[in-house]
Amino acid sequence: MSTERNAETNAAGNAGISAVELQGVDKTFGVVRALAGVDLTVAAGEFVSLIGPSGCGKSTLLRVVADLVEPTAGTVAVAGTSARQARLDQRYGIAFQQAGLLDWRTVAENVELPLQVHGVGRAERRRRAVELLELVGLAEFAGARPAELSGGMQQRVAIARALAPSPGLLLMDEPFGALDEMTRERMQAELLRIAGETGAAVLFVTHSIPEAVVLSDRVVVMSPRPGRITEIVAGRRPPVAGDDLVPDTVEDVRETAAFFEAVTAVREALRKGAATEGHAE
Amino acid sequence: MGSTRRLRSAASAVAAFVLLVVLWELAKLVLPDAGVTVGGTRILPRTDDAAMPHVWTVLARLGAPEVAGAAEPRAVGAAIASGALFTLGLALGGLVLGGIAGVLLAVLMQRFAVAEKAVLPYVIASQTVPLIAIAPLVAGWGGKIAIGGWAWEPWASVMVISSYLAFFPISVGMLRGLTSPREADVEMFRSLAAGWWTTLVRLRLPASVPHLVPAVRLAAAAAVVGAIVAEISTGTRGGIGRLIIEYAQSATGDPSQMYAAILGAAVLGLVAAGAVGLLELALRRYRGSVA
């Protein structure tokens, strides 16, 4: 299967090259210092979550990596090249909280959009869309309109679209923030399976501590004003052992002592960050 | 579902027309011929046959010859039909010209914020200049133009004046449509390394359709009005505008003929609106894109 091929190329081709490398990244909007001295490296295939209170700059950090926001200072490398070049080469895929599908296109045509923008031929696009919709479990909805799908299904289409150019990096800004709890947990399991199958690294912005812990290799805790990394906690990302096993392992992880320990560690790190902020003011 | 709704709207349009006819005849039946006058001011119009001819008189007039006793008699209905067709052609030409100008202006204003600031006030101001003032100007300038072997014809002036009215709703509606995509969608296209042109074709143009269709409907009506007024004020022959003027001059003796011409102008407007309905049908894929 071609997704396995992608996993191989992502793992082999990026060996030794970090998916993201940030050094001393600063971002100032007018007088507001959104990011201050952020250093962060995401290894190839690694799952890293950014967590912190509103206004801590985690979305801004994601947009810096995506080259949607220019940093005021510091260096940004994505897949071994500049953030701008990485964007132009479609080296990353991005998904936002709102699925942001185009209503006048079918589900398959939405998935094809990144390939179409890059001038990939129609037949190749079709083939890839079918493959990706199979990956996210929506093969039979290829001809449907986005408005006919539920919120969770729309988000899965958005993930398939982000994966279309076979990127080595997925950037996700609270992609499950608008979903109900049950759908959200199912989507987390889906995302883990997809990340495992494609071998893509993931930089994931979230408000939810359990979500960050269950998905991530590492959880990056940030504090606001100015946004900086206060602590990095080891996550409890379960190993991928096959297509069907993941949902079970995800459920299992949620009930282990290690999971609760990590949740507590992240919560305390967040509290500490809030406390230092209080002192600063 | 869509077809029953269309059927219902067609039925209510017919019902409205029937109601108008009934009211017209009822007014003739109930109100006094001299109208209603209170303290020297007439508050309801005269209803005698010279002011308000019977509906059937107007319809019968369509079949009667235009000029009694002419060598080659032409029925009033035929004259009105050929005039209406002539004007319809000019109005559609004006709509296309105005549509192209309006869309190009809107794209320019969307692309360059400076252009929006500089041009938009003039776009709005253009519509406050009375058409009757512009018409002789256009005809005068046009008369001096000759491109190759083609000399400027009066009908070209009519088309240009008609497009002058039509471009306005299209440029304003199109600008709204082009700027309607959500910030997140624009950001998505940027993340895909899509340039301005790709973003225009794949995002902004499809997203503008729901704003564009009602704008074109307004523009079509404006183009018809513009063409008729332009025919009258430039004295162009062959169209329904000229017929209305000619028939109005004999209205005191033969009011039904003028009403027949006005009826023709109304049907003309309906046909133009119907043409926009076809456009809407062709673009229905994009109709739900306003979030």
Q: What is the pLDDT of residues B141-155, one digit of tens each?
A: 877 777 777 777 788
Tell me how close the Cα of B115 comes to any Cα of chain A, in angstroms.
25
At residue A248, the pLDDT reads 66
Instruction: Look at A88 and B193 and tell me if their CB atoms are within 8 Å.
Output: yes
Tell me how close the Cα of A4 comes to any Cα of chain B, in angstroms.
24
Tell me how close the Cα of A103 comes to any Cα of chain B, in angstroms.
6
Calculate the CA B143 to chain-centre distance.
25
Q: Is position B179 within any domain?
A: yes
Tell whether the torsion through CA atoms of B74, B159, B173 and A101 is positive or negative. positive
Q: Is position B30 within any domain?
A: no
At residue A53, the pLDDT reads 86
> Which DSSP letter does residue B200 get?
I
Could you give the 3-state DSSP secondary structure of residue A183? helix
Instruction: Look at B184 and A100 and tell me if their CB atoms are within 8 Å.
Output: yes
Report the predicted TM-score, pTM, of the whole model to 2 decimal places: 0.79
Cis peptide before A239 (omega within 30 of 0): no
Q: Is position B13 within any domain?
A: no
Could you give the 3-state DSSP secondary structure of residue A33? strand
From B49, B130, B109, B92, select the one nearest B224 (Cα to Cα).
B92
Contact between A86 and A78 under an 8 Å Cβ cutoff? The reply is: yes
CA–CA gap between residue B128 and residue B142 (Å, rounded): 22
Please name the residues in contact with A262: beta carbons below 8 A apart, sequence gap of 6 or more: A213, A219, A233, A234, A235, A236
Q: Is position B271 within any domain?
A: yes
Find the domain containing B186 and state its range: 76-289
Q: Is position B144 within any domain?
A: yes
Q: Does B201 touch chain A (CB under 8 A)?
A: no
Q: Is position B3 within any domain?
A: no
* B284 → chain A, closest CA residue: A104
Tell me how close the Cα of B181 comes to any Cα of chain A, in angstroms.
10
- Total tally of structural domains belonging to chain B: 1
Q: How big is chain A by its Cα radius of gyration, in Å? A: 18
CA–CA gap between residue A134 and residue A1 (Å, rounded): 11
Higher pLDDT, B116 or A95: A95
Higher pLDDT, B17 or B291: B17
Contact between A107 and A146 under an 8 Å Cβ cutoff? The reply is: yes
Please name the residues in contact with B288: beta carbons below 8 A apart, sequence gap of 6 or more: A103, A104, A147, B210
Q: Does B189 touch chain A (CB under 8 A)?
A: yes
CA–CA gap between residue B61 and residue B58 (Å, rounded): 5
Tell me how close the Cα of B8 comes to any Cα of chain A, in angstroms.
26
Q: Is position B120 within any domain?
A: yes
CA–CA gap between residue B96 and residue B107 (Å, rounded): 16
Q: Tens of pLDDT along B218-254?
A: 999 889 988 998 888 888 888 888 888 888 887 777 7
Please name the residues in contact with B94: beta carbons below 8 A apart, sequence gap of 6 or more: B158, B159, B160, B161, B162, B163, B164, B165, B166, B223, B226, B227
- Which segments within chain A are labelled E, that is strand? 20-29, 32-42, 47-51, 73-78, 81-82, 92-95, 169-173, 201-206, 218-223, 228-234
CA–CA gap between residue B177 and residue B286 (Å, rounded): 12
- Ramachandran sector of residue A28 (left: φ over 0; alpha: ψ -120 to 50; beta: rest): beta
CATH number of residue B162's parent domain: 1.10.3720.10
Domains of chain A, first to last: 2-91+169-280 (3.40.50.300), 103-166 (no CATH)
> Is B291's pLDDT higher than 50?
no
At residue B289, the pLDDT reads 42
Instruction: Look at B191 and A118 and tell me if their CB atoms are within 8 Å.
Output: no
At residue A25, the pLDDT reads 86
At residue A28, the pLDDT reads 87
Q: Is position B36 within any domain?
A: no
Q: Does B284 touch chain A (CB under 8 A)?
A: no
Please name the residues in contact with B284: beta carbons below 8 A apart, sequence gap of 6 or more: none
- A102, A161, A173: which to substitute to probe chain B, counting the most B Cβ within 10 Å? A102
| b/e code B56-95 from CB counts within 10 Å (16+ = b) | eebeebbeeebeeeeeeeeebbebbbebbebbbebbbbbb
Record the tokens describing residue A181, joined without a space: 């709890």
**Which burial class, exposed, middle or buried, applies to A126 when counting CB atoms under 10 A from its CB (0-12, 13-18, 19+)?**
middle
Which chain B residues are within 8 Å of A88, Cβ to Cβ? 193
From A53, A54, A62, A23, select the one nearest A272 (Cα to Cα).
A53
CA–CA gap between residue B45 and residue B35 (Å, rounded): 5
Mean pLDDT of B65-77: 70
Tell whether the torsion through CA atoms of B144, B148, B149 and B150 is positive or negative. negative
- Print pLDDT tens along chain A (281 aa): 444 444 444 544 445 688 888 888 888 888 888 888 889 999 888 999 999 888 788 888 999 999 999 998 888 888 888 888 888 888 899 998 888 899 899 999 999 999 999 888 899 999 999 988 988 888 899 999 998 998 888 988 998 999 888 888 999 998 888 888 888 888 888 888 888 888 889 999 998 998 999 889 999 999 887 888 888 888 788 776 555 556 567 777 888 888 888 888 888 888 887 766 544 44
Identify residue B165 by its one-letter amino acid code. Answer: L
Which chain B residues are within 8 Å of A113, Cβ to Cβ? 192, 202
Instruction: Look at A98 and B184 and tell me if their CB atoms are within 8 Å.
Output: yes
Contact between A61 and A38 under an 8 Å Cβ cutoff? The reply is: yes
The secondary structure of B145-195 as a DSSP string is -EETTEEPPHHHHHHHHHHHHHHHHHHHHHHHHHT-S-HHHHHHHHHTT--
Instruction: Look at B289 and A100 and tell me if their CB atoms are within 8 Å.
Output: no
Mean pLDDT of B103-115: 89
Average pLDDT for chain B:
84
Instruction: Look at A89 and B189 and tell me if their CB atoms are within 8 Å.
Output: no
